[in-house]
Amino acid sequence: MRSLLFVWAAILLIRAAPAKKLPTPPDIVAAAPASAWKTVPADDLLVMDLADGGRIVIQLAPAFAPVHVGNIKALARGNYWKGATVYRVQDNYVAQWGLNESDKPWPTGVTAKPPAEYTRPFKGLSVKPLGYPDPYAPGTGFWNGWPIAYNAKANWANLAHCYGTVGVGRDLSPDTGTGGELYAVIGNAPRQLDRVIAVVGRVVDGIDHLSSLPRGSEALGFYKDKAQYVPIANIRLASDMPVAERPAYEYLDTQSASFARYLQVRANRHDDFYIRPAGGVDLCNVQVPVRKKS
């Protein structure tokens, strides 16, 4: 029995809690004081329930794409997505949902042709810099819990396309997408999409309900048959749900000392498993801690 346990331990890729060594990122998150956590406003939480019961929760980013996020809120409140499905799942790229080939009219409050909210001004953002080089932008770091890329001199900033990032499907320029068709990144960070598409948020819970879906066999991962479409029961703002039913989330304040330590250790793992600290980390590998509020 002992040898069986040993063998089971031997196949663990990473040990969960090394003893008497430097703290791991989860250790630092667990030790962060309550004051280091910030609650996501209920009005910025989009709750998508699949017909099979799987729940995906998205934090919206009105500070970066106010018109598109306004549209998404109007679409949710106007029950636009009744009958929506996940109709495209492309491996190592995105899962996309909405009404697909629909010509349903937009509900009240929707701006049909939003401006190109691909960047916003950098000035005025209090940023925790990543501190390591990035191939896509002169600066990267974190603002209010979000991974961002920026150019201070040219005065632009954008939400980075990381795993879980949610963006707006669009046609060719100058179309920017209205917000009815959304995608979530389910693969390696496609940073080449930064600044060419409107990012409206990120999945904070339940992304496995998207990432584990069968991949579509058609070009770009579209499902071939409508029978493969994954039905969505409803998409609501948490603020429109009965208070007792609302999910709530909090994220580690990226200006906190806890986050600074977390970032440092993400870049310099040095416990029993990580025998060689990397001395650096990629923006999208930092993964700002987000947790459900109980």
Beta strands across the sheet bearing 249-252: 37-39, 249-252, 290-292
225 binds its own copies (CB under 8 A): no
Q: Out of 211, 228, 239, 256, which residue is the one contacting its own copies (CB under 8 A)?
A: 211
Q: Pick between residue 211 and residue 239 the one whose CB is nearest to its own copies.
A: 211
Rounded to the nearest whole angstrom, what is the least distance from the CB of residue 219 to its own copies in the complex? 6
SS3 sequence, the chain? CHHHHHHHHHCCCCCCCCCCCCCCHHHHHHHCCHHHEEECCHHHEEEEEECCCCEEEEEECCCCCHHHHHHHHHHHHCCCCCCCEEEEECCCCEEEEECCCCCCCCCCCCCCCCCCCCCECCCCCCCEECCCCCCCCCEEEEECCEEEEEECCCCEEEECCCCCEEEECCCCCCCCCCCCCEEEECCCCCHHHCCCCCEEEEEEECCHHHHCCCCCCCHHHECCCHHHCEEEEEEEEHHHCCHHHCCCEEEECCCCHHHHHHHHHHHCCCCCCCCCCCCCCCHHHCCCCEEECC
Q: Out of 37, 81, 85, 194, which residue is the one contacting its own copies (CB under 8 A)?
A: 194
Q: Pick between residue 108 and residue 192 the one whose CB is nearest to its own copies.
A: 192
Residues 15-44 that bind its own copies (CB under 8 A): 15-16, 18
Locus of tokens 């920026």: 150
Q: Pick between residue 103 and residue 225 the one whose CB is nearest to its own copies.
A: 103
Rounded to the nearest whole angstrom, what is the least distance from the CB of residue 72 to its own copies in the complex? 15
228 binds its own copies (CB under 8 A): no
Residues 107-136 that bind its own copies (CB under 8 A): 118, 132-136
Interacting stretch for its own copies, rule CB under 8 A, among 13-21, 40-48, 107-115, 247-255?
13-21
- Per-residue x/- marks for its own copies, 133-172, CB under 8 A? xxxx-------------------------xxx----xxxx
79 binds its own copies (CB under 8 A): no
Q: Pick between residue 239 and residue 285 the one whose CB is nearest to its own copies.
A: 285
Q: Between the CA of residue 17 and those of 10, 14, 74, 267, what are the distances in Å?
A: 15, 9, 45, 18
52 binds its own copies (CB under 8 A): no
Rounded to the nearest whole angstrom, what is the least distance from the CB of residue 93 to its own copies in the complex? 8
Q: Pick between residue 227 and residue 244 the one whose CB is nearest to its own copies.
A: 227
Q: Out of 24, 96, 254, 258, which residue is the one contacting its own copies (CB under 8 A)?
A: 96
Q: Determine the size of the site formed for its own copies (CB under 8 A).
A: 76
208 binds its own copies (CB under 8 A): yes
73 binds its own copies (CB under 8 A): no
